[in-house]
Amino acid sequence: MENLTMAQQKQLTKSILDADVAPDCDIYHLFIHSVCSAMKRSGFSRPVIADRMNDALRAQNNDVDQAKLNKWLAPSQTNYMPMHYLPALCYAVRSTEPANILLKPILFKAVDQRSQLLQQHAELQMEIEERTAMQRYITESLLTNDNQD
């Protein structure tokens, strides 16, 4: 990073959410494909997926059925699944891949709490190793200075 201009360094550390150029968010067909793939991988039929979505949306008193799923997932239709149903859909198909497809243009990814804890654990482990190395360096420096006196 030493050979980069300040503008280039700033661009590398800047979030895509703050970028001057908008990301390509034309992902509708990719999203539909990911949902259909997740449905197949789940092993659930569309009626079961609809029931699982309804279970997850219980507080909203919504009725998702196979016909609605078919309309929402047909690329030729103009009816889209409400975005606030996305968590219920992910639960129903046992996959966060549809959410990841939606987040991909802005370089984000859905991660679960376990993944976050594993990342935090790894970061803490690296910090411990860095501090241990620093402590070893200081100890060796002190011993070297004592031997020279």
Between 9 and 89, the higher pLDDT residue: 89
Q: What is the pLDDT of residue 19?
A: 84
d(CA 18, CA 2): 23
Of the chain, the percentage scoring pLDDT greater than 90 comes to 60
Q: Contact, 101 vs 27, CB < 8 A?
A: yes
pTM of the model: 0.70
What is the structure's pLDDT at 12?
A: 63
CA angle (65, 42, 69) in 5-degree steps:
20
Average pLDDT over residues 59-86: 88
Cα–Cα distance measured from residue 84 to residue 121, given in angstroms and rounded to the nearest whole number = 32
Residues in the chain: 149
Q: What values do phi and psi take at 21, rounded to 5?
A: -105, 130
User: What confidence score (pLDDT) does residue 11 get?
Assistant: 60
Per-residue pLDDT at 67: 93
Query: In terms of DSSP H, where are the helices of 2-112?
Result: 6-13, 28-42, 46-56, 66-73, 86-93, 97-103
pLDDT in tens, 117-141: 998 999 999 999 999 999 999 998 8
Mean pLDDT for the chain? 88
Does residue 1 register a pLDDT over 60?
no
What the block records as the tokens of 35 is: 């949902």
| 71 pLDDT higher than 80 | yes
